[in-house]
Structure 1
Amino acid sequence: MTQNRNEPVWDVVIIGAGIAGLTASIYLAQAGQSVLLLDKGSHPGGRAASTEMSFARVNLGAHALFKSALPILQEVGVTPAGAAPKPPGSLVFEGTNGEHRPLPLAQLLLGSFLKWHEKTQLLRFYSRLLITDTSALHKVSLQTYLESQISSPRVRNVVLALVRLSTYCDDPGLISAGAVIEQLKHGQVLYVDGGWQTLVHQLAEQAQKAGVTIRTSSPAREIAGSYPRMTVTLKDGTQLKTRHALSTAGPAVTLSILNPPLSPAEAAVFEQLIPVRAACLDLVVDGMPQPKTKFVIGADYPWYYSNHSAVVSLSDHPAYAVVHVMKYLSSSGNSDPLQDQRELEGFLDLIQQNWRKHVVQQRFLPRMLVSHAVVTTANGGLPGRPGPAVEGRPGLYVAGDWVGSTGMLLNASLASAKEAARSIISAKEQDKEGVHRGA
């Protein structure tokens, strides 16, 4: 296929119809921009899509929505239905003989496992959290910061468990303490009724209502040119003319489709980003041996277990539940998928003995992409992430969980999508003013 002469010149072509792309498209279309939203998949959603498994909607690994993300979602007409899980009921520690030991959270705080001075350190850390000034901590690693604040290794591991829970990241030596503390301040999360696919459906509906054109099964091969004459070429050869291009693909994919490529210095900003991954065991079960055990995390191990159906509705079958088990992976890349799966199954054996008898369907995702970038100290923490406007390429913008100085995970995707849209709208308004002045 080639360029159709009747093909319009779009104000904005957006690559990627995940949550960032859909959100940006709504802001742009509501501001009167003509918007074409492309996705390589057969339907919108990206990593936010849920899978139908045995009458249940199962997310790609465990997903939680921070309540702090709600204002932007509500601005674009999306109101998620869901509920907040209770705090983890237990943490798993390593015993004196190397065995695994689940410890109820209440016993951790009230029992004898932690000494009095250790409990004091834990309480002091969390009591100071909301008033901690993070501006001086963006270039300090979490590991360094915790060692300066907490002398007890056991207490540091408790904090690291809660950090993994809120960031999905198991790289304390790399991740910025400032970014982590900002994330911990966000507090409560929601599990979403019907899975995250319901967010995708609502966003797609709002996008179409605003006038966005959505084309699925349309992978992009190239972004060429600069404002106001840009071309997006699809893998089938179709050429699309646009004034602005917004890529919500990851940094590596975005770099690979730019023509001409960015300069080495500009490309380095994208190339040095380190992805966050997790090994995910997603289960549809007909109950569990220990139904009261709903939420367990590892303190000395990077583990997560949660029965999401204990909180929200995910299945049409009244007896079926959706359970997520995860291992947060280090960026070292040393993990072995088969060993990770055995490790997660062993974790389940510990907290849900005979769980295999209850499995209706299961799926193992060995290296699920959680986020495109650890917020590292080396890059300057949150303020050091790439901005939505790509340097040296007028008219080219990016958005996603690796872009902008606000938030992590979904919050970063939403904030950067909004910022990219506002930048494009502002650029068009300034261009109009310039034309009027010239006239």
Structure 2
Amino acid sequence: MTENNYGSPWDVIIIGAGAAGLTASIYLAKAGKNVLLLEKGSYPGGRAISTEMAGARVNLGGHALFRNAFRILHEVGVTVEGTAPKPPGLLMFKEADGKERAVPLSQLLLGSFLTFHEKIQLVRFYSSLRKTDTSALQHVPLRAYLESHISSPRVRSVLEALVRLSTYCEAPDLLSAGAAIHQLQHGQVLYIDGGWQTLVNKLVEQAKKAGVSIRPSSPVLEIKGSYPKMSLVLKDGTQLASSFIISTAGPADTMSLLNPALPPDEAAIYQQLIPVRAACLDLVVSGMPRPKTKFVLGADVPWYYSNHSAVAALSDQPGTEVIHVMKYLPALNKKDPKQDERELQGFLDSIQPGWREHVIKQRFLPSMLVSHSMVMAANGGLPNRPGPEVKGRPGLYVAGDWVGSEGLLLNASLASAKEAATLITNYEQK
């Protein structure tokens, strides 16, 4: 299709040119489908973009690529370079007087911070981690699971911190223990050289190579019809016809586009989902006061600090480093952006005193969307997440980090994108 031929019927139109949309488009185009990819922003990538700050490539908050995403990335022709970060060097604990105490991770088992009994509990948990049957724990809240297996509140706080690190989720009373432990079992990550923009660029390259038409600055107003006569109306009035539509716009946004709306009982599946968010302080710095402090994780405080430049190439300027500081935000409590920013600055004051003198440029994202939905125990965990097919609307599919029974975060986006593309391909072959 040429640039002036967007009004012609398409086999598939995909809403959203983030990782899920780009991945689905590649599978479909390689299967011989005529694919149009619409992006409301001025360029593809969604939340996976990196921005230029003082000559450095800075992700939107601290991003890490789980290695089990490689399989699907390789299938669509994408490889990225990067390095695995070392485990957190320090864990932050709240003392009885309200002050924070930084404890080296190595001292949890070797020092006196934990009692002998607590050390045994921690060792036993990790020795049995790989053998844990997560399918039996999908409907069990994480906190309830830990309380039934770990008597020490301090050890539970360490394990909850490691779950936050791998899921970005600060809701142990709601989060599925099965989903959380599965994520810990597959927790190997790397920081990508050049930032996540490198991943976006390679997905865009493969999509264009496969014949996908990408149209930026094209926000959608309505989704109408059903297979085989579906249509989209853009906010500028443009009407587009297609046999199938995939929306990667998130549950609330997708539901708001439907005309007519889904029946209340069907829409309820999407309306009950709770997003995962984080307050992010992104810094470009000229070194830091304590250069050996590269990775700090809050134990009973929901904080994160990581020098991503310690392992990934993110700047061409010698001595310039990219630091990400985050607060994992509670799921249901009211947020206070100014208080969250002060918390993160105070966290930095305690681990990197004098850090402000090293800042070249900084950015605060008060409520960064990490995932459109946590995996909730009350909903049955991973197996009961919404699937790619939208029931009652033949021809309409969804994909993203909240869809399908496989994985979290980017892994869920890629897996659901592949599944949606496969369902469409197989639908036409029936």
TM-score > 0.5 by shorter chain: yes
C-alpha distance after superposition, 1:72-120 (max 9, x if no partner)? 0010011011000000001001123221100001111100110011011
Aligned to 1:142: 142
Work out whether 1:328 is the aligned partner of 2:328.
Answer: yes
Secondary structure (helix, strand or coil) at the match of 2:51 reads strand
* Aligned pairs (5 A) from 1:8-407: 8-407=8-407
User: Normalised by the size of structure 1, how large is the TM-score?
Assistant: 0.96
Amino acid at match of 2:269: V
Change (3 A) 1:311 1:5: closer
Amino acid at match of 1:158: V
C-alpha distance after superposition, 1:363-404 (max 9, x if no partner)? 000000000001001111001100000000000000000000
Offset, 1:333: 3.0
Secondary structure (helix, strand or coil) at the match of 1:191 reads strand
Unmatched 5+ residue regions in structure 1? 431-439
Offset, 1:136: 1.5
Contact 2:11 2:242 (C-alpha < 8 Å) held by counterparts: yes
C-alpha distance after superposition, 1:44-96 (max 9, x if no partner)? 00000111100001000000000010010010011011000000001001123
Task: Tell me how far apart the structure 1 counterparts of residues 399 and 5 of structure 2 sit (CA, whole Å).
Answer: 30
Amino acid at match of 1:317: Q
Secondary structure (helix, strand or coil) at the match of 1:423 reads helix
Amino acid at match of 1:366: P
C-alpha distance after superposition, 1:190-215 (max 9, x if no partner)? 10000000100000000000000000
C-alpha distance after superposition, 1:300-326 (max 9, x if no partner)? 100000000001110121121000000
C-alpha distance after superposition, 1:212-245 (max 9, x if no partner)? 0000000011110000000011100100000000
Contact 2:6 2:240 (C-alpha < 8 Å) held by counterparts: no
Task: Tell me how far apart the structure 1 counterparts of residues 328 and 202 of structure 2 sit (CA, whole Å).
Answer: 30
C-alpha distance after superposition, 1:150-199 (max 9, x if no partner)? 00000000000100000000000000001101111112101000000010
Task: Tell me how far apart the structure 2 counterparts of residues 187 and 397 of structure 1 sit (CA, whole Å).
Answer: 29
Q: Between the two proteins, what is the percent identity of the paired residues?
A: 69
How many matched pairs? Answer: 427
Task: Tell me how far apart the structure 2 counterparts of residues 136 and 297 of structure 1 sit (CA, whole Å).
Answer: 29
Amino acid at match of 2:130: L
Offset, 1:335: 2.6
Amino acid at match of 1:253: D
User: Normalised by the size of structure 2, how large is the TM-score?
Assistant: 0.98
Aligned to 2:7: 7
Task: Tell me how far apart the structure 2 counterparts of residues 98 and 261 of structure 1 sit (CA, whole Å).
Answer: 50
Task: Tell me how far apart the structure 1 counterparts of residues 121 and 7 of structure 2 sit (CA, whole Å).
Answer: 64
Amino acid at match of 2:295: F
Secondary structure (helix, strand or coil) at the match of 2:136 reads coil
Offset, 1:5: 9.1
Amino acid at match of 1:345: Q
C-alpha distance after superposition, 1:257-304 (max 9, x if no partner)? 011111101100000000000000000000000000000000010000
Unmatched 5+ residue regions in structure 2? none
Aligned to 1:436: none
C-alpha distance after superposition, 1:2-38 (max 9, x if no partner)? xx99832101000000000000000000000000000
Offset, 1:147: 0.3
Task: Tell me how far apart the structure 2 counterparts of residues 330 and 122 of structure 1 sit (CA, whole Å).
Answer: 25
Task: Tell me how far apart the structure 1 counterparts of residues 62 and 38 of structure 2 sit (CA, whole Å).
Answer: 26
Amino acid at match of 2:42: S
Task: Tell me how far apart the structure 1 counterparts of residues 6 and 274 of structure 2 sit (CA, whole Å).
Answer: 42
Amino acid at match of 2:409: L
Report the aligned-residue RMSD. 1.0
Secondary structure (helix, strand or coil) at the match of 1:135 reads helix
